[in-house]
Chains A and B, each alone.
Chain A
Amino acid sequence: MKSKTTLPISYRLAVTSRALAAVFGGYLIASLAAVCMALWLPTSRADAVVTGMMSSFVFYLLAVLWCFACRTAWRAWFGVMLPTAAFATLAGVGLWMART
């Protein structure tokens, strides 16, 4: 982050990687968190969906902050994938229960 001319290519790639993790990974986390709330909240169906959508942006924000605060770009991806997997499992169980 010193002078622009001295930045190595690896640094630029790492920043790009973090940005991708933040934008797409963050959206994935936000969406899945919202889906979990929509499926699991003990309110009416419409209310659960609205609550999920309304609070999803906070999850997005936290994911973005994490992606740029952690020490390496690999950690950024790891930190995005872990909650994604957790939310996806929870959402999957919820969907399966709704089906049966």
Chain B
Amino acid sequence: MKEGFRQAMAWLHTWVGLIFGWLLFAIFLTGTLAYFKDEITHWMQPEVQAHPLDDARSLTVAQAYLQQHAPDAARWFITLPNSRDPGLSVMWQDKLDPGKRGNFVQKVVDPVSGEAVLARDSKGGEFFYRFHFQLQMPHPWGRWLSTLAAMVMFVALITGIITHKKIFKDFFTFRPRKGQRSWLDGHNAVGVLVLPFHLMITYSSLVIFMSMVMPAPIMASYGADTRAFFSEMFPATDNAPALGQPAPLQSLVPMYTQARAQWAGGQVGRLAVNNPGDVNASVNIFRAGSDRVAQDFGSMVSFNGATGELLRVGGGQSLPALIGGTFYGLHMGHFATPVLRWLYFICGLAGTAMIGTGLVMWLGKRQLKHARTGVMPYELRLVETLNIASMSGLLIAIGAFFWANRLLPASFAERSDWEVQAFFIAWGLSLLHAALRRGRRGWIEQLSCAALLLGAVPLLNAITTEQHLGVSLARGDWAMAGFDLTCLGSGVFLAWAAWKMRCRMAPQPTAERALGLNLTREAR
């Protein structure tokens, strides 16, 4: 490391990018899918019907359902349907044991008929959302690892910017069909084009988990009583304890109307009812996260459930809390309208592509040296295998997850777990395949497989449900139709990529030689 500053930064960029690239690729792609998590869930639970939104009706139905099925529960939670998620979700907790978490029961209720919907057991889009920061690891290790990956991403971004000095001039340089050079141009172009998104998404992921990964300042200011910090930050919902005297719960609808008036017409996201059926029942109405960019967890109105009297209006943030809430809100994108949501999705894909092109370039550059002999050292073989399995293998795993959702019978025990198993089994098999089939052959076969799996999703949907494209488009169910069409589009794109790679391979008998010759020409 006796070179200049920029070379040192390029070195750091190269190596942290390699070591964390595979993990970051998976985090970025699944996180990008999570922007459409409600839509994915809708596709994966086609039994949940969408109805025109009517909050008052939904609320009455939810209250009646809970009154009938869980009158003695300690707490109720009601999540109202919205334009993205058509399900009216109710949840209750039987008993509040201090220090122990009571069991939650969750049901999706039809907001018109008032009956529980018998939807197939599926994690839906929630799986991608959870995976992108928990990585299917036990708590809290997955969160730590993904936050570490975010820190590495931050380092990789800044070192990338330093390395890439002529950031704007180079942006207009794209040299297509030039092998290694094109990969570099592409890497730079997607990197720079959505740079604000990259910086925002990376830094905000650090901010989201900051109290977990950076607890020292809390301990320094609050000592052992770290709870005091959280109750100062998120003003505690110190609800009155149950008195044990029964009293009927008032209708929730007038409280809903009052709460919305407090927010000048803002939307309600979730309601929590503590001790329903007690004189000390309390109703907390939380504002929807989609109302504003900055997330404010304290934005709620509470009522006495037995009298309907307004107790407290929470909310309002200090400047640092507002900045933190803005980072949180920007990362989650709850506020995003359809157009903005697609922009988020495209930016996420661009980030994924930036990581992918970086990994491909790392290998391509080093393969050059071994092009003549045709013998690749063990490390390069390993990187090649991991590149194939982490990129095209992940696409296959996503496809397998969707297929499992349609093919596993609804009565199957632990069905949603088996969908997840299908995801990981497919990913594992693709790793095995990548280890056995070398170079371009591995890429082509896996990309073709992913293209087939994703491209055939509309067909699969048409065969297994009554929600095929003709129906969903005619009814204006854009989540259902959009999912089918996006899968079809991805399938076509992947097929094109596989075909492109095949064309490159065809004139030469072996993949390695074709790649090698191409690259040596570029290197001059």
Contacts and interface: CB of A to CB of B under 8 A. Distances in A.
A65 B157 CA distance: 12
Contacts of B206: 57
A31 interface: yes
Interface string A1-29: 10110000000001000100000000000
A18 B427 CA distance: 35
A65 B220 contact: no
A71 B158 CA distance: 20
Contacts, number: 101
Given A61-B158, A71-B1, A47 B321 contact: yes
Contact of B320 (A34, A54, A64, A95): A54
A61 B220 contact: no
B320 A51 contact: yes
Given A1-B11, A47-B319, A53 B233 contact: no
A69 B210 CA distance: 27
B323 A54 contact: yes
A48 B319 CA distance: 11
Given A61-B158, A68-B1, A54 B210 contact: yes
B267 interface: no
B200 interface: no
A43 interface: yes
Contacts of B211: 53
A60 B231 CA distance: 28
A50 B1 contact: no
Contacts of A71: 1-2
Contacts of A31: 214, 216-217
Chain A contact residues: helix, strand, loop or mixed: helix
B70 interface: no
A89 B22 CA distance: 40
A68 B12 contact: yes
A52 B233 CA distance: 14
Contact of A53 (B9, B11, B159, B214): B214
A37 B229 CA distance: 15
Contacts of A1: 1, 3, 11
A35 B151 contact: no
A49 B11 contact: no
Interface in B192-220: 203, 206-207, 210-211, 214, 216-218, 220
A1 B12 CA distance: 11
Contacts of A35: 216-217, 220
Interface in A45-79: 45-54, 56-57, 60-61, 64-65, 68-69, 71
B245 interface: no
Given A38-B217, A56-B214, A50 B324 contact: yes
Interface string B1-32: 11101001101100000000000000000000
B221 interface: yes
A2 B159 CA distance: 20
A85 B521 CA distance: 53
Chain B contact residues: helix, strand, loop or mixed: helix
A44 interface: yes
Contacts of A43: 318, 320
Nearest to B230: A46
B8 A69 contact: yes
B20 to A, nearest CB: 12
B418 interface: no
Interface in B285-310: none
A91 interface: yes
Task: Indicate the member of A3, A46, A71 with the most B CB atoms within 10 Å.
Answer: A46
A30 interface: yes
B226 to A, nearest CB: 10
Nearest to A51: B320
Given A47-B320, A71-B2, A57 B217 contact: no
Contacts of B158: 61, 65
A80 interface: no
Contacts of A34: 214, 216-217
A52 B318 CA distance: 14
Nearest to A73: B1
Interface of B: 1-3, 5, 8-9, 11-12, 151, 154-155, 158-159, 203, 206-207, 210-211, 214, 216-218, 220-222, 229, 232-233, 318-321, 323-324, 327, 369, 379
3 closest A-B pairs (Cβ-Cβ)? A38-B217, A31-B216, A52-B217
10 contacts: A3-B369, A30-B214, A31-B216, A38-B218, A46-B233, A54-B320, A57-B203, A64-B155, A65-B12, A71-B2
Given A14-B1, A38-B218, A46-B233, 9 more contacts: A31-B216, A34-B217, A44-B232, A45-B221, A45-B222, A54-B207, A61-B151, A61-B154, A68-B12
